[in-house]
Amino acid sequence: MKSKIEKLITDSSFDYLQPYFYNNPFALRCELGAGKTHAAYMRRARNRAKQIYGILFSRRADAIIFNQWICDWSDSGAAEKDEYGESAGEIIKMRLGSETRALRFLLENMMNYRHVSVKGLSTYDDRAADGARRNRIVCYADETGFDDLHLIRKQIDNEENCEVSLVSFENECILSVYDDRGCDIVFASYEKMREFYPRLQPFFLDYDRELMEKRYNNI
């Protein structure tokens, strides 16, 4: 019997577009980084992410999901100008590096794990206008498992050009670390959100605390 969250992540009607917290009714948002120095800020971000992971995943992630953005680089019109004054060569190098890292990450996971591709998903309006398409790749841990904390750290350090999220079938949730600032936890049901609300409350982002309280109280 598949869990509700497993059914959702393989359903093309489940958009799962950022900002995850505002686009999903059973979601909570936690703060990660803070500190007077960069080192202290990043240390706190990693520690808090590890603690949140420990609350949501009793063993390990059952699956990972990530977006594959397929961009149409062809364009017509005026020459492209960079607002930061970078040369064409620098821009090309940056884009090629970003695309290469994303593709390598995609292929490595698809080679090593049982997976499902959910194709033709909706995209952001501006990216649709630029001709971008989006697929969601679901890779299952099965007996192998992922290096969950390594994936989270890569998200915090912004080392991959991939929107990677960890999924728990047992606790019916998706953990998405968007960068060193924070993370969103999306639950498949109101009941699961209420169950984990008290344990995650110490990590809540104050800015969104009022909205989370309303969700908890079903207002």
Give me the mean pLDDT over the 175-198 stretch: 96
Neighbouring CB atoms inside 10 A of 49's CB total 24
Check whether 147 has a pLDDT greater than 60.
yes
Structural domain count, the chain: 1
Helices (H), the chain: 4-9, 20-23, 38-56, 88-112, 125-129, 148-156, 190-200, 209-216
Check whether 84 has a pLDDT greater than 60.
no
Tokens of 19: 């900002």
- Binned at pLDDT 50, 70 and 90, residue 81 comes out as low
Q: Which structural domain, as residue segments, surrounds residue 56?
A: 4-216
Q: What is the DSSP letter of 204?
A: B
Would you state the pLDDT for residue 80?
64
- 20-63 residue pLDDT tens: 999 999 999 999 998 889 999 999 999 999 999 999 998 899 99
Q: Which of 46-50, 77-81, 141-145 has the highest mean pLDDT?
A: 46-50
